[in-house]
């Protein structure tokens, strides 16, 4: 690692001279009032960045580009569900955002008010987020399709003045009605919003609540000529709340600031993603997740890039649709998830080869650990650099990643490479000491957290400290709750959640390690491993695998034979202690539509428990198949 001197010098300066380093990066955005202090770290673990500086996310993402490149592409909206495609220039995006901002103001929203956005992937969702940023309101985007009870808990935590939704979303050719869920959530909530703004897509009929529900189209027509100036905000004021996925009980709202977030994203698009004004960024995520916030809405626009907002799946109308988008819109930077690439890996490779991908410079993957076989396959198929990112809702931008905008470093398959500048990242043993090379440890960050990370948990500073900074008494460390390992070249790999560790007869095994071993068998396309309670050994690993050729598991004998082969593969790679108790073969694994595996739901079914709220699942049939297999077995 010492040979990568440009990266090392850049990184060390960010850790050893954070104020000088981030003062330089702050020049990437416009400041209405320059910060008087770069970092206030007087009350750890709470850090304040660019203290006294005044800026605005919407100004930096839209207005400053509209002023100098008004006709350049800003937002490219594509829906393969409705057959719609629209392109907005920076001037047009600015106009739509001001119209939405005027609507928010008419409905009583002001600076500091919360606006809950519960919407499908449509342009109006982008307008709403940017309009909130413009007037100093705090948006809270909730993944479209969450159940009414989940929506209600988020309403009660954020207490929004306004909720924005639509009649329905579309996924895989089927409509998902939102309005009935909104009505039920408002009835369940203790603090329902006074007003609800509705976008009518003409997909599902809506029953309006008199005095509460407002029509977006009618109000937009009223405010076509709106001129709404930006509200300048002190750097540390909240920009948004985003609830962490998989939260149980009281939801945990990650609170982000304005200035630190703007600087971190502008810096990351330049340094990590190598994006430039006039380029095109295509993130396949959803605005309900952190990637959608950072790299569909804010990051690309801050850099003056066009951003693609896509409603649809990776295989409809056919498995070439993403590559067609890359070709047609000259995409330079693409961002997706390992799960999505594994889905595409099972398709005919001709779908990838038939399109001109010459504009694409790099593909980035994040959301879960990237296994080596998938990394190798997609990089060989694209003949482009494929870069693994590691980060979290809490951090808002990558913690581990190559930084090709500073120095091109070799890609190591299955590794997100090195700590990103600003993150004093280390691996810790359970006693708080630092792990050695090739020794597993908890991924932690020594404060201060860099700009762009969460500043607290919404409304609960004590929970921020107790959740994220209670791993050890000494030193004070932000815990990622992920296991990692670092090799002799300084490359890191993520092994899975600390709470996904299986304790088998006193042996601690990471589910991620077992998944890697199962997938090493040539017949396996995808796998999820969960720990299942066992009276004798505490826990046993159980695997659920998707095969590349379904004919292999069409008979009982075929399934038994392949199961034995997979177990032998695990034995050879990890030892018999890691062998799954069973390997069940399924046609698909349950995921959210952004590609996150629902391992806890699989584990719950395997242990005979309620799998919980499944409204965000992409294909409910996958979980039902697992239920039937377990019932029959």
pLDDT the model gives residue 192: 98
Q: Is the pTM of this model over 0.75?
A: yes
Distance, CA of 301 to chain centre: 17
CA 91, CA 148: separation in Å to the nearest integer?
37
Tens digits of residue pLDDT in 541-565: 999 999 999 999 999 999 999 999 9
The total number of residues shown for the chain amounts to 633
3-state secondary structure at position 432: coil
Tens digits of residue pLDDT in 432-456: 999 999 999 999 999 999 999 999 9
3-state secondary structure at position 176: strand
Find the helix or strand (DSSP H, E) in which 175 lies: strand 174-177
Q: Does the domain made of 505-632 have the CATH classification 3.30.300.30? A: yes
Cβ atoms of residues 420 and 392 within 8 Å: no
CA 283, CA 310: separation in Å to the nearest integer?
8
Nearest C-alpha neighbor of 14 from the set 345, 422, 523, 509: 422
- Name the region of 238 (left: φ>0; alpha: ψ -120 to 50; beta: rest): beta
**What CATH fold (topology level) applies to the domain 5-483?**
Rossmann fold (3.40.50)
CA 544, CA 381: separation in Å to the nearest integer?
26
pLDDT the model gives residue 248: 40
Fold match between domain 5-483 and domain 505-632:
no
Domain layout of the chain by residue ranges? 5-483, 505-632
Distance spanning both ends of the chain, measured CA to CA: 49
Residues of the chain with confidence (pLDDT) below 70: 1-2, 145, 245-250, 499-501, 503, 505-508, 535-536, 594, 613-616, 632-633
pLDDT the model gives residue 507: 61
pLDDT the model gives residue 535: 67
């Amino acid at each position: 690692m010492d040979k990568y001197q440009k990266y090392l010098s850049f990184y060390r300066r960010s850790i050893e001279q954070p104020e000088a380093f981030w003062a330089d990066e702050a020049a990437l955005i416009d400041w209405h009032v320059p910060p008087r202090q770069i970092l206030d770290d007087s009350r750890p673990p709470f850090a304040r960045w660019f203290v006294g500086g005044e800026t605005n996310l919407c100004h930096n993402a839209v207005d400053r580009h509209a002023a100098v490149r008004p006709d350049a592409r800003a937002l490219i909206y594509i829906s393969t569900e409705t057959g719609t495609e629209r392109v907005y220039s920076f001037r047009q995006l600015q106009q739509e955002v001001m119209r939405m901002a005027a609507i928010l103001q008419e409905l009583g929203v002001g600076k500091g008010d919360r606006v809950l956005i519960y919407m499908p992937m449509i342009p109006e969702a982008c307008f709403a987020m940017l309009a909130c940023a413009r007037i100093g309101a705090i948006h809270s985007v909730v993944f479209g399709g969450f159940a009414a009870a989940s929506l209600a808990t988020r309403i009660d935590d954020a207490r929004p003045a306004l909720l924005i939704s639509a009649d329905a979303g579309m996924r895989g050719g089927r409509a998902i009605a939102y309005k009935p869920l909104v009505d039920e959530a408002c009835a369940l909530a203790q603090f329902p919003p006074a007003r609800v703004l509705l976008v009518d897509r003409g997909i599902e009929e809506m029953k309006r609540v008199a005095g509460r529900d407002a029509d977006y189209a009618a109000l937009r027509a009223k405010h076509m000529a709106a001129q709404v100036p930006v509200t300048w905000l002190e750097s540390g004021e909240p920009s948004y709340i985003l609830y962490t996925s998989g939260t149980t009980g009281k939801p945990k709202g990650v609170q982000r600031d304005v200035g630190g977030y703007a600087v971190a994203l502008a810096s990351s698009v330049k340094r990590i993603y190598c994006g430039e004004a006039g380029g095109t960024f295509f993130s396949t995520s959803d605005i309900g997740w952190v990637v959608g916030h950072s790299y569909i809405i804010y990051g690309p626009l801050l850099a003056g890039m066009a951003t693609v907002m896509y409603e649809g799946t990776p295989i409809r109308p056919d498995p070439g649709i993403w590559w067609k988008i890359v070709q047609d819109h000259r995409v330079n930077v693409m961002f997706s998830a390992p799960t999505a690439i594994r889905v595409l890996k099972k398709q005919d490779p001709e779908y990838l080869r038939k399109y001109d991908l010459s504009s694409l410079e790099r593909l980035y993957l994040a959301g879960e650990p990237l296994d080596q076989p998938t990394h190798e396959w997609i990089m060989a198929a694209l003949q482009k650099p494929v870069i693994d990112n590691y980060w979290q809702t809490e951090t808002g931008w990558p913690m581990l990643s190559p930084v090709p905008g500073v120095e091109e470093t070799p890609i190591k398959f299955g590794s997100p490479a090195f700590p990103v500048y600003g993150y004093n990242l280390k691996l810790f043993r359970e006693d708080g000491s630092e792990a050695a090379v090739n020794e597993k440890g908890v991924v932690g960050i020594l404060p201060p957290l860099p700009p762009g990370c969460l500043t607290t948990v919404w409304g609960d500073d004590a929970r921020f400290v107790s959740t994220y900074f209670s791993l050890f008494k000494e030193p004070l460390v932000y815990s990622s709750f992920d296991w990692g390992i670092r090799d002799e070249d300084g490359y890191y790999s993520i092994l899975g959640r600390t709470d996904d560790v299986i304790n088998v007869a006193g042996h601690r095994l990471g589910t991620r390690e077992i998944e890697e071993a199962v997938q090493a068998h040539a017949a396996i396309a995808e796998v999820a491993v969960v720990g299942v309670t066992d009276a004798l050994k505490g826990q046993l690993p159980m695997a659920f695998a998707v095969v590349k050729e379904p004919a292999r598991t069409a008979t009982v004998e075929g399934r038994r034979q392949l199961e034995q082969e997979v177990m032998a593969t695990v034995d050879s790679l990890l030892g018999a202690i890691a062998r799954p108790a069973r390997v069940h073969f399924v046609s698909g694994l349950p995921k959210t539509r952004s590609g996150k595996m629902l391992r806890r739901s699989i584990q719950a079914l395997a242990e005979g428990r309620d799998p919980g709220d499944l409204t965000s699942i992409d294909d409910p049939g996958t979980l039902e198949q697992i239920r039937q297999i377990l019932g029959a077995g």
